[in-house]
Structure 1
Amino acid sequence: MSQSAEQVRDRARALYEARAKRVPIAPFTDQNPELGMDDGYAVQRELTALLLADGDAVIGYKAGLTSVPMQEMFGVSTPDYGPVFASTVLADGANVSPEAFIAPKVEAEIVFRLGVPLRGPGVTVEQARAAVGEVMAGLEIVDSRIEDWRIRLADTIADLASNGAVVLGTPVPVDPSVDYRLLGLAFSRGGALLATGAGAAALGDPAAVVAWLANTLGERGITLEAGQLIMTGALHAAVPLLPGDTFVAEFDRLGAITLRVDKP
């Protein structure tokens, strides 16, 4: 790592206060461009501890940078991850206030819930698929506590992989006959189609995201527990969230979910 323990604490506190006050901060990599993935995760762990101390709870994990274009943008060949907190989970049809975020965007993705624990290293895609108990439609609100989304890899990892909130659809039992790589999506705003996608946009197979998470976290001594959510990554480019918007994600086999944004 290229930062001291004191810097880790200071950066986590800065992100914590930015989240609380809805006031963004400058990228850490502006002053320290050498910061990398391990530096980002060190800050993320400290920030997670601060949020847990406030009474929140980690109920799963999100994977980011699961598509080749996003990895190329950040100059990496691997996804990143962040915890999902209970306080950020919303039900289908939720109304959100744009003032609850700093610079929110919306993206649709497939979300799994584990039926049994999973711990790497060595977890295969087949083992990951077998560990999943339920699948549901998801709309993630990504948000950045970093000014103007001027993020490099260490910045977004430190900032909980830019997670803001997630809307979850009705859970559906996993069907072994369904190939989730081929699960289709139509994403619209105000009735106008904005994007289409398929499960294969997430690391080639959403189940591969689960395996990657289990193996990556396992190297850090963390087990994916039964009941935890796994957000497998965006299936299309994120869209800005604006007052008065209504977003709908229609998934094959999983149904449709809706997110409404309050007007001023």
Structure 2
Amino acid sequence: MKPTHSDIAARLRAAYDTGAVPPLRDGLDPTDVAGAYAVQALNTAHWVGQGRRIVGRKVGLTAKAVQAQLGVGQPDFGVLFEDMCIKDGGILQASKVIQPKAEAEVAFILSADLPSADVSREEVAAAVAEVVAAIEIVDSRIADWKITFADTVADNGSSAFYVLGSTPKPLSGLDLWTCGMALEVNGEVTSLGAGVACLGHPLNAATWLARTLAERGEPLRAGDVVLTGALGPMVIIKPGDVVKASIGGLGSVSFTYEDAR
């Protein structure tokens, strides 16, 4: 019997404790957008019921090459919970993740609600209170990262944790199109990129997200954190690594991936 969305949601929740599971092909076709978001929504509701607090959203699959690899023509999104945030310079414990990777991103903190499905990029820009450099620690509950679009969406956008920089800047005056990005692991540059790599501009990614969530009746709200997507290739991290991302105009942000004790 084909597993239900509830069955798949429970399987993914269990993976956080017991380890990665095989791809979800038995219950989700690789491009089943509606089904994948239905699974994500079931787990979001479960976690909210357990007391976790939603503080924003993340955008994924903002690189055209990655979209092509997964056979889709659009980004995806996942939910950010308050307990996913690691302070700048803080520690990620190895026991909290399965097969983590890090990527550098631009993060927006909003000052206004964005309830319209027709919101313009200019209106999104006007709602941005602060901009910070960020690192997203992505992690898949799917074994060996053998993901399709449906796998990653159902798995909350393959999200795990994130780190926000401690020097917020106003959007005005920033060049988020040509801004360069360097991601270092233990002082060695392992990923390079620029703002244009994020769907052409981080504001494009945030606008797509605002419209998509408004259409779903779950609009972005004042105070929300928006991780707009990777500026360059993600990198595998291992216990003991010190990870630092620097983005032009936004400064740096870092964390240490600590071995389990």
Give TM class, smaller chain.
Answer: over 0.9
- C-alpha contact 1:108 1:138 (8 A) present in aligned 2: yes
Structure 1 SS opposite 2:4: helix
d(CA) in 2 for partners of 1:209, 1:37: 18
Give me the CA root mean square deviation. 1.7
Structure 2 SS opposite 1:181: coil
d(CA) in 2 for partners of 1:257, 1:226: 23
Instruction: Give unpaired runs (5+ residues) of structure 1.
Output: none
Q: Does 1:212 align with 2:199?
A: no
d(CA) in 1 for partners of 2:18, 2:132: 30
Classify 1:40/1:31 alpha carbon distance in 2 versus 1 (closer, same or farther; 3 Å). Answer: closer
- C-alpha contact 1:112 1:135 (8 A) present in aligned 2: yes
d(CA) in 1 for partners of 2:160, 2:18: 12
d(CA) in 2 for partners of 1:246, 1:82: 25
d(CA) in 1 for partners of 2:28, 2:198: 31
Shift of 1:190: 0.9
* TM-score (structure 2 length as normaliser): 0.95
The correspondence of residues 14-163 of structure 1 with structure 2, limited to 5 A, is: 14-19=11-16, 21-30=17-26, 32-33=28-29, 36-163=32-159
Shift of 1:195: 1.7
- C-alpha contact 2:28 2:35 (8 A) present in aligned 1: no
Q: Does 1:12 align with 2:9?
A: yes
Shift of 1:213: 0.7
Shift of 1:177: 2.3
Structure 1 SS opposite 2:25: helix
**What's the % identity of the aligned pairs?**
37
Residue number in structure 1 paired with 2:176: 180
Q: Kindly report structure 1 stretches of 4+ aligned residues shifted beyond 6 Å.
A: none
Shift of 1:35: 5.5
Structure 1 residue corresponding to 2:219, chosen from 219, 223, 241: 223
Residue number in structure 2 paired with 1:201: 197
Q: Does 1:241 align with 2:234?
A: no
d(CA) in 2 for partners of 1:189, 1:43: 34
Shift of 1:34: 5.7
Shift of 1:31: 5.7
Residue number in structure 2 paired with 1:257: 253
Classify 1:102/1:198 alpha carbon distance in 2 versus 1 (closer, same or farther; 3 Å). Answer: same
d(CA) in 2 for partners of 1:130, 1:236: 26
d(CA) in 2 for partners of 1:118, 1:171: 25
Classify 1:133/1:7 alpha carbon distance in 2 versus 1 (closer, same or farther; 3 Å). Answer: same
- C-alpha contact 1:139 1:167 (8 A) present in aligned 2: yes
The one-letter code of the counterpart of 2:44 is: T
Shift of 1:120: 2.6
The one-letter code of the counterpart of 1:72 is: A
Instruction: Give unpaired runs (5+ residues) of structure 2.
Output: none
d(CA) in 1 for partners of 2:28, 2:108: 36
Structure 1 SS opposite 2:124: helix
Structure 2 SS opposite 1:28: coil
The one-letter code of the counterpart of 1:14 is: R
* TM-score (structure 1 length as normaliser): 0.94
Shift of 1:161: 0.2
Shift of 1:258: 1.2
